[in-house]
Every structure is written in C-alpha cells, then in structure tokens.
Structure 1
C-alpha cells in the first residue's frame, strides 16, 4: 500500500491527543461505573425456565415492596441479573429467592455472589498491578529485542488503546468488572503483536537501507508500514468478526467483554499503524549522529 503515513502523522497525533483530553475530561465528570467486583455489594444471577422479557418493571416493583432496594437489573429470555450496591444479608437473600420463585418462576435457580469492601479494594489493586506488570514486561521485551525507542513508542500506543476503551466505558457508563480487565489485557496482547510485526519490518528494512538524510527514514517507515498494512487489517478483521458474533449472539455475561474487545481491536489497529511507527521516527530523528573518532596521523 502506498500512502504517506509520515507526512500525515501530525494529524493522527493531534486526533489522538484530542481523544485523550476528551477521555480525561469524561473520566473526571462521569468516573467509572464499577461493578460488584470492584465495590462492595451483591450480584444475583437467576436462571429461569420461562421467558422473562417484559417483566423488568414487575421485578423492580417486587424488590421495592420487599425492601430490597433498586438494583441494576438486566432481564433476558432465560436469565435475570441483579447488581446490588449493598451486601444482601441472609434474610434478604432468602426473601429474594423465595419471593422470586413465588411471584415469577417456581423453577428459578438463583446464585448470589457477595463482595465486601476489603475484597473489592484488593481486586481493584490486583487489576491495576496486573496491567502495570504486563506493560513493564512489554517494555523490557521490546527494549531487549529492538531498542528503547521502539519500546517507548510501543508503550505509548498500548496506553492509547487501553485509555480509549476506558474512556468509552466511562462516557457510556458501562459496567467495569473483572471481564473488562481481562478484555483490556487481551487488547494489550493483540496490539503489541501488531506493533511488533511493523517494528520488525522497520528494523529489517533499516538493516539494509542507506540512510543519508532524514527523508530516507521517512521513506523507510512509509515502506515498512505499507508492506505490513494488509496483514494488520486482515488480522484485526478476522478477530473483529468473532467479537461481533459474540456481541450479537453471546449471553449477557460476555456482551460487555465482547464490546471492549471490539473497541480495543479498532483502536489497536489504528495505533499500531498510525501512532507507533511515526512516534518511533520522531524519537529516531532526535538521536545525535555518531561522530567518527579521528586517529592521529602517522609521523
């Protein structure tokens, strides 16, 4: 593919910076909609034998009448999910199970998962540590295999991808839970794989190129990205098709996971092609030229 990625990289940088600033503003305004995994509360999953579609208002009335509060409710054809901001004690849990069976489906099977404050804080802390360790491992790996400029460009691209997904979930106030963290780590893996393929081509072309002026580096990056462009797009499209199918046909439990993967795939392809390599080029051009060591003339 013949396209001047380097010449237009300024517009891609501006676009990404604008998206980042918008994301920071949205996070400051809305924050994240943490699920039960990251805050104290109870999660109730009820498997039903009959179609419960259209029963959401009736379920909400039943909960209010029995002093069970107003949880977030998702009603599907064969499953009802409730997310309580408070921990259900044994009495309320029994009231919920018995009342739901009596009023809606006597064959319903309910599973209650409770997370207290300390566990929620520990899960949040461990999730952050997992992402930091993954990022650090990527920096070390790329630094050893390539050089620190490649590593810095790669980690900026990865942070860009993760932040895009986080910003979208913040703006839409979608629930952030453990599957979301798994999705972000998966996105990091796909993105770094795509970025490494492009960097490997850059390094290979750099090995045989004769760089005499800055424009030669521009041509090298354009050629390297162009040579891997089709491969990058085909890889993303293949995985995106699977993510779209999971989003459309999957259960409620994995819909947000699938959505996060889909957003991250698009963002990852964009950053690998339009951000990572041009950023490496900017860093490379700032490298001080090596000065030749003069040997004293023989007398």
Structure 2
C-alpha cells in the first residue's frame, strides 16, 4: 500500500545530518574539555544517602556535616527535602560513617537512616572497563545480527543510528555535568535495545516493499523509503510514547537514586525515535542508491 505523506524525510536528510553533526561536535568538544562527571561507581570514593525523616535544607545539612568533621562537602537535598546526598572523593572509614550518622541523629532524631556506597580505586577502574566492554559487545552482536538478518547496508545504517543515540545521551550528561554511574550504563544499554528495535521495524518494512518495487532512479528509491517510514510511523510513535510515559513518571515521582537513569532513558528514547526515521533510513538510502543500475 502506498501512503500519501506530506513530509519527505529523504529530501530533508541533509538538514538532519547537519543537526546531528552539530550536536555531535558540541558533545565531542565538551567531552575533550570537561570529560564526564563520573559518580562513585566509576571513581574511587564514597557516597552517603541520608534519610532524615523531616524536611531540611542543604545549608542545615552542611552544618551537620561540619560537626562530623566534613566542612568542605556540598550536600544536595531531594525527596521532598528529607533525603540528603553527598559524594566524597576519598573512601570513608567506618568510623567516619558512624560519626556522620551520629551527627544527623543528634540533629534530627533516631529516625535517621543511611545508605553507604564505597568504591576503591581498583574496583572503580574495573567497573568502568567492564561497562565499556558491555556496550561494545552489545553493539558488535547487533551488527552481526542485522548483517545476517538483512544486509550489510542495513547494518551500517543501524549501527550509525545506535551510536548516534548513545553519544547524544553521553553528550547531554557531559554538557550539563550530570553524574555518570552504573544505572547510567544500564540506561545506555536499554536505549541501544529500543533504538535498534525501532530501526529494525522500519528496515523490515523497507525490505518487504523493496521486493515488489521497481526502482529505476533515486527518486523511486526515495519514494519507497518514505512510504515505508509512514507505514510504520504510528507503530514507532506509539511504542516510544508508551515507554516514554513510564520514564517521565519515574523521573517525576521516582527516588533520587533512579532520577538520572530516568533522564537518560527520556533523552535516549526521543533520540532513538528521531534517529530511526531521520538518520538510519537516509543513510541506507545513500548506500543503496549507488547500486541502482548495476548488474546483479
């Protein structure tokens, strides 16, 4: 079935390329200049999440930390003002943790509870390496699967969109100095899965339409791709919106510990829907149009 579409994605592909390239360059500049703001999972140190049981402020929490011997910390307050979070560059000893807990109990009462996370330098390096390997292995197997299931042109276009989505999320976290931790890596891997899923849905429709299409020019190829995109457009949007609603709900109502995970998911889901339509399909068009007119 041929759909009447009002927007020609292939015709405007260069605008998409410019937009994505600008974001990528901005991200590269930020990463080179500032790097990533690694959390305690990837950087030696300790983190304390303290539930004080009543509303407080960052200034009041800072005074309590000063009483425990940590005058130079910068606490953040979340969870309706009842949860205090602090990151320490150096691992805390058990005595220091107890001193902080006792200081908060003296100020706010015995209902105070804490959650401690300490990582030594060797473990931090190991976790960072393993996270990079996990993303790399997932990407390699996706390339192999698409190459077998479709063809090499689809694999190149799919991995380009996949890397685009992952790098957009990384760039945003670098630009705004958001913390990168293990939940962030989980979000990246989840985004890769959703991104390639949306891309494969469009590629599958392109392959079906390609079997019956009579392509004599780049214009015929462009029309076939646009037709395929619009045939799957409603499904792609509905799938992304369903997960996006859940991610936004987690970001708004979830705890501080999963807020950055939810934010990474929101950015990645939007980027994934965009790249599947506006990056992957045009890249496949660029590769496929070169083969038009060649002998089989």
Q: Same fold (TM over 0.5)?
A: yes
The equivalent residue for 1:139 is 143
Distance 1:13 1:268 in 2: 15
Distance 2:185 2:239 in 1: 22
Distance 2:74 2:190 in 1: 27
The equivalent residue for 1:130 is 134
May I ask how many residue pairs the two structures share in their alignment?
Answer: 290
Distance 1:45 1:65 in 2: 17
The answer as to whether partners of 1:70 and 1:84 remain within 8 angstroms in 2 is no
The answer as to whether partners of 2:13 and 2:279 remain within 8 angstroms in 1 is yes
2:252 to 224, 248, 253: 248
Distance 2:158 2:286 in 1: 13
Q: Deviations over 1:143-201 (max 9, x none)?
A: 00000110010000011101111111111111110000111111111110000000000
- RMSD of aligned residue pairs (Cα, Å): 1.5
The equivalent residue for 1:260 is 264
The equivalent residue for 2:69 is 67
Q: TM-score, normalised by structure 1?
A: 0.93
Offset of 1:113 from its aligned partner? 1.7
Q: Which moved more, 1:138-147 or 1:227-236?
A: 227-236
Q: Deviations over 1:3-36 (max 9, x none)?
A: 2111111111111111111111111222211100
The answer as to whether partners of 1:183 and 1:257 remain within 8 angstroms in 2 is yes
Secondary structure at the aligned position of 2:291 is classed as: coil
Q: Which consecutive unaligned segments of at least 5 residues does structure 1 have? A: 293-299
Change in CA separation of 1:69 and 1:144 when aligned onto 2, cut-off 3 Å: farther
Distance 2:167 2:236 in 1: 21
Distance 2:251 2:114 in 1: 24
The answer as to whether partners of 2:158 and 2:196 remain within 8 angstroms in 1 is yes
Offset of 1:221 from its aligned partner? 0.6
The equivalent residue for 2:54 is 51
1:208 aligns with 2:212: yes
Alignment of 1:1-299 (within 5 A): 2=5, 3-48=7-52, 50-54=53-57, 56-75=58-77, 76-77=79-80, 78-287=82-291, 289-291=293-295
Q: TM-score, normalised by structure 2?
A: 0.93
